[in-house]
Amino acid sequence: MSVPVSTEHEVRDIEKGAPPARFARGWHCLGLADSFKDGSPHEIDAFGTKLVVFQAQDSGELHVLNAYCPHMGGNLARGTIKGDTVSCPFHGWLWNGDGRCADIPYARRVPPRARTRSWTTLEENKQLFVWYDPEGAPPPEGVTIPRIEGVFDGQWSDWTWHTLRVEGSHCREIVDNVVDMAHFFYVHNSFPTYFKNVFEGHVATQYQATAPRGDMTADQTVSAQGDTRSVASYYGPSYMIVYLDMDVDEAGTTVETAMINCHYPVGPDSFVLMYGAIVKKLPGMTDAEAAEAAAQASQGLAAGFEQDIEIWRNKTRIDNPLLCDQDGPVYQLRRWYEQFYVDTADVEPAMTDRFEFEIDTERAVRVWQAEVDANLARQTAAER
């Protein structure tokens, strides 16, 4: 009996492609602003180079410059802050926040061309951002980071904040999660009951509702103990704000959380991932209790990202994913994401026009509930 031999037309080959040679245009968060306000310059590996972040002593402003001094290549991040300048540790050249050399202690005059790159910065939500554009253009009108009012009104906790570097993966891997409903069940042990995406302009949003899985212990799941409703939006290529409401008891008590998921590229296949949370204080909740609630939210984020990173470390890049009818709009999201990697003149309406897609979760919920029920039955039988 002969066995049919598959032809090349019956097998879908994975197209890996190569990560983009350029970095995404947009605002990129470098971390909590206060972490750079300790009187020392700070070194950041980003965009294929090194940056120095420093706070001017007199004005109090945060500045970002290219880290390597254009005189003889000294690393300004290893220098000192003097007034509103950063001093190179190699020859003492002083650099202003605008990139101009302010003084050379041993020279009679400063060369007219003594300038280095000064990066456009923004402080918002108590975080520091830099603007990156390979064409050198300033931020367009209306493209900014929205304010989270809870950061400033005194009714919320302070930020928790975590930073880790991911090697061997491009930033696209984390952005793909915006449309990937199924991975929340299989990777994060969550239980999505509603899932919708809306892309428009430079914003990509995920609307999601989840229910707790009864077959998981607390250390196996990153989902909440009660039902949750979340709205998660990328504002540009790398900064996501997540607003999440979590039901915590049968009396209808809801905890409001704002979470940040953000990153900046180090190289074509590495990036720094950061995340944090603030929690709105419930009536009678102390500052310490609010901080603990925010810490718990961050622990959930940490567990989730650890699960994602384990997947990224062992998967391949795939430019032509084979999708089924209940997968999210992966190709449409990547088309939206592409706008940040092409020249502004090449941004097409298809990348920015409004697009909506809602997944019918009825079948998924039915199948997943049956799996959860079967797991619970096995657990009960094992305990007898």
Confidence of residue 223 (pLDDT cuts 50, 70, 90): very low
Is there a contact between 274 and 162 (Cβ–Cβ < 8 Å)?
A: yes
pLDDT digits (tens, 9 = 90+) for 154-168: 899 999 999 999 999
C-alpha triplet 95, 98, 101: angle, nearest 5°: 30
* pLDDT, average across residues 106-110: 97
CA nearest neighbour of 66 among 43, 50, 80? 50
Q: What is the mean pLDDT of the chain?
A: 91
pLDDT digits (tens, 9 = 90+) for 253-299: 788 999 999 999 999 999 999 999 999 998 888 888 888 888 887 78
User: Looking at the domain that runs over 26-132, which CATH code has it been given?
Assistant: 2.102.10.10
Please give the pLDDT value at position 360.
93
Please, how many CA atoms are within 13 Å of residue 358, restricted to the half-sphere of its CB? Answer: 7
C-alpha triplet 159, 306, 233: angle, nearest 5°: 55
What are the residue boundaries of the structural domains of the chain, listed by start? 26-132, 153-316+325-375
Please give the pLDDT value at position 108.
96
Which CATH fold topology does 153-316+325-375 show? Naphthalene 1,2-dioxygenase Alpha Subunit; Chain A, domain 1 (3.90.380)
Residue 75 has pLDDT above 70, yes or no: yes
Please give the pLDDT value at position 252.
67
pTM: 0.91
Using a pLDDT cut of 70, give the percent of the chain over it: 94
Confidence of residue 248 (pLDDT cuts 50, 70, 90): confident
Distance CA 77, CA 46 (A): 14
* pLDDT, average across residues 303-320: 89
Distance CA 67, CA 52 (A): 5
Tokens at 376, concatenated: 């619970």
pLDDT digits (tens, 9 = 90+) for 330-353: 999 999 999 999 999 999 999 999
Confidence of residue 95 (pLDDT cuts 50, 70, 90): very high
* pLDDT, average across residues 350-374: 93
Provide the 8-state DSSP code for 100.
B
pLDDT digits (tens, 9 = 90+) for 8-43: 567 889 999 999 989 999 999 999 999 999 999 999
Q: Which residue has the higher pLDDT, 4 or 198?
A: 198
DSSP E strands in the chain: the ranges are: 26-32, 42-46, 49-55, 62-66, 80-82, 85-87, 94-96, 101-103, 121-124, 127-132, 162-167, 192-200, 203-210, 228-235, 239-247, 254-267, 270-279, 355-359
pLDDT digits (tens, 9 = 90+) for 48-71: 999 999 999 999 999 999 999 999
